Structure 1
Amino acid sequence: MPPEFFENNIRVKQDMDALGVLGDLGWYCVGAVLWAKNYELPNVVSALPAGVTRNSAGIVLSCTACLNYDQDHKTTGWNAETEKVVVDNQIPQEAFMVQELARLAQGIKKCEFRPDNRWPEISRKTQIVVDAIKKSIDLDCKPVYL
């Protein structure tokens, strides 16, 4: 990414998306953990001090967090290395997302599909954990109890 991205992109503007990477890619990482844990919320969430990077506006550009569950759960961590991935699509991903949303909405309108009522609860739990990670970052990586 060009350096100006980290200062000027909508994802790193205080008045546009104050969660930065946490509200963008972090949402999906948290969602994947919750899915793996059958949507059970962790007991404690902590950001790790060495993993937090911010831009000049204080927006989180990178972070690492630990989601702690009760003693019966075991986890294994890893260090991910940066890798460039290019996906060749017929249309931009944003256009595909709008097409898919329109297809699903049309299917519901025509009674071909039914809304999946799980998503409001899944989204709420994901946001609870994302907010807890942000709170931990703002508290100098102190634990946040859920």
Structure 2
Amino acid sequence: MSLKFLPLVALLASWPHAAVAADDFPKRRSGLWVFNSPDNRLVKGNLCVDDTHTNFIETDIWSNFAQECVTFNSVGNLRPREIKAHCHSSMTGKVKLSVTYDGDFESSYHFVSVSSFEGADGKADQLISTVEAVFQGQCPGNMKPGTRTLGR
């Protein structure tokens, strides 16, 4: 490599990564999805999905991901896929988010989400969620798209 291009390479290497768009995530099949998590009881339940709720990051992990998070690393061509982002939470402030996910998003998918933040006591804290999602077919007639019910 020519030395005259070295400053340009250094500049490009330090350039912030572009935000990952909703279209960059796998499209989830429309219908009823059932969620289970061995380490986060708040995840267990059902979600009715239509073609406007296909982005699992926004519905399953961080509800305003596009507005509150900036991606700094994304590996999307390998299995499992991984995304890392810096997010801002109104409850905890700065959050470092790491999500590893895999599946066909037609019949099932799973992910592990790790949120690292400063706890109330000023010490580093983490919230880890391991989630399995399984497609169940059409949504019940009394369940509108975007509706989530909590399991037991």
Determine if the TM-score, normalized by the shorter chain, exceeds 0.5.
Answer: no
More strand by share: 2
Could you state the TM-score of these two structures normalised by the residue count of structure 1? 0.28
Higher helix share: 1
Structure of higher RCO (CA pairs closer than 8 Å, 6+ residues apart): 1
